[in-house]
Amino acid sequence: MVLKNCLKAGTRIAAAALVAVTLLPVMVNAQDKEVSEAQLEAARKVVVANKALDAFDEILPLMAEQTRTIFIQADPFKSDEVSAITNEVALKLAAKRKDLNEMIYKIWANRFSVEELEQLAEFYNSPIGQKLATETPSITALSIGAARQWQDQISTEMVSLVREEMQKRDQENADAPAAPAAPAGKPAQ
């Protein structure tokens, strides 16, 4: 039973990974056009300068932790073995990180000319560009938090206003005089 649960969990992880690995390049490549080596090199410089890859550094450790947790929950008596195997597999998969980096370089290369990429790299290598690259993750996180807070406030306000309006209309309908009944045999208009 434990092995069966472990295999089910492993199958789910493998299926999700397979779908992601299969579809991501298709989605990325569907939008891509051919890019020159000069565009790719210029894109690499921008991506490194603006620290765009930093946001993806936790993907593999997070996946390893989730995988380890699933297998340990399925068979707690093998936790040491599961941890060791998961670490081995994660280290092997770390070499594939360059594939993600290349996809990101291509995304940038497809959206900017070499000249634009060079200008962006120059900007991101400047003190203000480095500050922007450093502050962008926290600005983004704070902005998302602010948007969620605003959404929660607006949602609460919207529900309250709709409720008030519904009650008002219900009261108006209750206070309105009843429509006269139609004579027998004659449909109401």
Q: Closest Cα to residue 125, out of 55, 53, 54, 46? A: 46
Element holding 188 (H helix, E strand): none
CB neighbours of 123 closer than 8 A, spacing ≥ 6?
129
And the tokens for 118?
């060079």
Q: pTM here?
A: 0.64
pLDDT tens, residue by residue, 47-91: 999 999 998 999 999 999 999 999 999 999 999 999 999 999 999
Residue ranges of the chain with pLDDT lower than 50? 2-3, 6-7, 9, 11-12, 14-19, 21-23, 26, 30
